[in-house]
Amino acid sequence: MSNNLKAAISRFADRRVLVVGDFMLDEYVHGTVERISPEAPVPVVVERSANHVPGGAGNVVRNLRALGAQVSVAGTVGSDEAGQRLREMMAKMGCDTTGLARLEGRPTTRKTRIIAARQQVCRLDREDLRPLDPDDRTALLEPLRREAKHLSAVIISDYDKGVVVRELIEECVALAREHNFFLAVDPQVTHFEHYRGVGVLTPNHHEAGRYLGRRLDSDDEVARGGAEILERLKARQLLITRGEKGMTLFRSDRPDCEHFPTMAREVFDVTGAGDTVISVFTLAVAAGASLEEAVFLSNRAAGLVVAHVGAATVSPDDLLAVLP
């Protein structure tokens, strides 16, 4: 396994991945609390600093670029300061942002977290959840159609913000079959039925359970539930992430699933771990790793990022260092 994974990691830089989905700007406002507001029983936070990072599908871009892949996008931002900032940040990472459409009358999704004394006081979301207009949806598909024959993989990052709709998913599935690229989906529970025929779905066990209407806690419950999802959606693979219990892989060409125990030694923050998993898994498969090797590598990567506070990423050197 080790030699093949080393070879796969060495090919990351040659792989081109397009990320399509809900791009957003994550804003962190840090401050101090010295008094309670006279207007309501709430703390008054005095801002001391602020920082911004790409969120949603943008965090998948961060992960892929950290791994060395060539990355392009298909998504939308508003004609506003947040959208311009997001575009510039991803371009600075080396991402091709020509497929990031600027829409009038629809704001860039922004999540502002107010933090004081290392505690999140509140979160303010600015978003428009309406499905994209047909014309905007057509424009969104243009970069995907234009690049399809050159792609190694496509990742759909669905946060249910109006971008990922049935027609988009069906087009991605059709193009994946035509051009033989790997199609991976980080799913939204309300859209599970739309994902028929994709390469791999990567829900966590809570999402998988909500789709089925029951809890999936034990190995047996996950095994039965995952097999049911795979059969319903006719996906080729299903990878259920299970936190401290690791991951479980299902394959359409095999009757039994395979459990992979967690590789995390310390857990400080699980923020963005799912983005790391789908990025590493997809890139590893696209670079020639077997499915089992890709799960092993993404499991190791998840163990690394949860040991850090905030949405961390891993590099090829980080992955090489944890190979057996």
Per run of 10 residues, the mean pLDDT along the chain (length 324 residues) is 89 98 96 95 95 96 98 97 98 97 95 91 94 89 94 97 93 96 95 93 96 96 96 94 92 93 60 87 97 94 75 90 88
pTM: 0.94
Cα 275 from Cα 23, distance rounded (Å): 13
CB 247 within 8 A of CB 241: yes
Tell me the residue length of the chain: 324
Report pLDDT for 266: 58
CATH 3.40.50.20 holds for 2-321 = no
| Those residues with Cβ within 8 angstroms of residue 133's Cβ, 6 or more apart along the chain or in another chain | none
CB 218 within 8 A of CB 227: no
Report pLDDT for 244: 84
Catalytic residue, candidates 22, 217, 275, 317: 275
Known catalytic membership, residue 275 = yes
| Those residues with Cβ within 8 angstroms of residue 289's Cβ, 6 or more apart along the chain or in another chain | 4, 5, 8, 297
Helix (H, G, I), strand (E, B) or coil at 36: strand
Report pLDDT for 15: 98
Report pLDDT for 187: 94
Residue 141: enclosing H or E segment and its boundaries?
A: helix 134-147
Where do the structural domains in the chain lie, given as residue ranges? 2-321
Task: Report CA dihedral (94, 95, 96, 99) to the nearest 10 degrees.
Answer: -160
- What angle, 0 to 180 degrees and rounded to 10, lies between the N-to-C axes of helices 273-286 and 57-66? 50
Report pLDDT for 269: 42
